[in-house]
């Protein structure tokens, strides 16, 4: 990653922390990933050769930039899905020099529309309590050898417990919780 992009990401992260501290409405917070989590997620994209990456929960584009930079390294592309377009999002993506396919719709509906096995890496960072309702699509859309990453599994375990239980009950899935940031669940979908 080049220095201007690193500086942009540092600014976006600092601005997000400042914004969230002053914003009483949780749904209007940016809730950006922590830098260490974002770095790990980007490396996972590279390791799996993530040419088809889907992110659910775009916000101001902080994690999107990390994902798109990594996907570009392996000749891939990111689709980022959110129910709204956040102020400054397109400017942030343009400043980072990344091209992302933005979709404005509910994450579960988008996943339901995808063909089976069409995603290399799926990152869920939206309304955690909705994930279980999206079942079985988060695993169905993954190609064999694909990865599902879910943020906030240590900071909000009760909100993701039913979803993670569904994932762990799928015999094709092998999961681990990485104690980075607010907790990242990483699941490999077997063959």
Range of the domain at 132: 33-189
Task: Give the confidence band of 19 by pLDDT, cuts at 50, 70, 90.
Answer: confident
Assign residue 149 the CATH number of its domain: 3.40.50.150
Q: What is the pLDDT of residues 81-95, one digit of tens each?
A: 999 998 899 999 999
Which residues have CB under 8 Å from 26's CB, separation 6+? none
Q: How far apart are CA 78 and CA 45, in angstroms?
A: 10
pTM of the model: 0.95
Q: Check residue 46 and give its pLDDT.
A: 98
> Structural domain tally of the chain?
1
Is residue 27 in some structural domain?
Answer: no
Q: Is residue 2 part of a domain?
A: no
Q: At what angle do helices 35-47 and 62-73 cross, to 10 degrees?
A: 30
Which tokens hold the place of 94?
A: 């343009």
Task: Report if residue 10 sits inside a domain.
Answer: no
- Is residue 22 a part of any domain in this protein? no
Q: What is the mean pLDDT of residues 111-123?
A: 98
Residue 30 vs residue 14, higher pLDDT: 14
């Amino acid at each position: 990653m080049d220095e201007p992009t690193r500086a942009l990401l540092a600014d976006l992260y600092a601005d997000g922390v400042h914004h969230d501290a002053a914003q009483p409405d949780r749904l209007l917070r940016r809730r950006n990933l922590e830098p260490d989590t974002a770095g790990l997620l980007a490396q996972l994209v590279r390791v799996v050769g993530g040419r088809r990456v889907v992110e659910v929960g775009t916000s101001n584009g902080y994690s999107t930039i990390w994902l798109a930079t990594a996907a570009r390294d392996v000749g891939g592309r990111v689709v980022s899905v959110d129910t709204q377009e956040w102020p400054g999002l397109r400017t942030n993506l343009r400043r980072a020099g990344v091209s992302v396919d933005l979709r404005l719709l509910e994450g579960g509906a988008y996943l339901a529309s995808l063909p089976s096995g069409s995603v290399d890496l799926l990152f869920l960072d939206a309304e955690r309590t909705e994930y279980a309702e999206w079942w079985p699509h988060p695993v169905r859309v993954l190609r064999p050898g694909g990865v599902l990453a879910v943020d906030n599994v240590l900071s909000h375990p009760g909100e993701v417990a039913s979803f993670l239980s569904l994932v762990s009950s799928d015999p094709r899935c092998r999961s681990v919780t990485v104690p980075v940031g607010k907790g990242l669940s990483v699941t490999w979908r077997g063959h």
